[in-house]
Amino acid sequence: GESVGLHLPTLSVQEGDNSIINCAYSNSASDYFIWYKQESGKGPQFIIDIRSNMDKRQGQRVTVLLNKTVKHLSLQIAATQPGDSAVYFCAENGGTSYGKLTFGQGTILTVHP
């Protein structure tokens, strides 16, 4: 998994498998978290977000889990497809104003057909 401030991990999965990407955050004041996907040569794109008053949120094929006790966030992708291959970033707001986000360094997801 990734942690805001550390190395860039990688995850390789087979097409159709479920993927889990992890993120540890350090700022206990954070009350909003986002997952972004960045494909090669493109800017990050929003996937899903979650507020700190929730511990789970589901989207289309994606689920974000938040564990505030251990300051951990995960992104689950169901039935992973080759088009899901990208770098995935988590971001937290640090409880700040003006919409500032602090990004993790990302996880490279590679999906093999």
Partner 1 sequence: DVKVTQSSRYLVKRTGEKVFLECVQDMDHENMFWYRQDPGLGLRLIYFSYDVKMKEKGDIPEGYSVSREKKERFSLILESASTNQTSMYLCASSSPQGEGLDEQFFGPGTRLTVL
The reply to whether 49 sits near partner 1 by the rule CB under 8 A is yes
Q: CA-to-CA distance for 5 and 78, rounded, in angstroms? A: 27
The reply to whether 113 sits near partner 1 by the rule CB under 8 A is no
The reply to whether 34 sits near partner 1 by the rule CB under 8 A is yes
What long-range pairs does 45-52 form, CB within 8 A, spacing at least 24?
A: 47/75, 47/88, 48/75
Tell me the three state secondary structure of residue 104.
coil
Stretch that binds partner 1, among 20-28, 49-57, 60-68, 74-82 (CB under 8 A): 49-57
Stretch that binds partner 1, among 12-20, 41-49, 57-65, 76-84 (CB under 8 A): 41-49
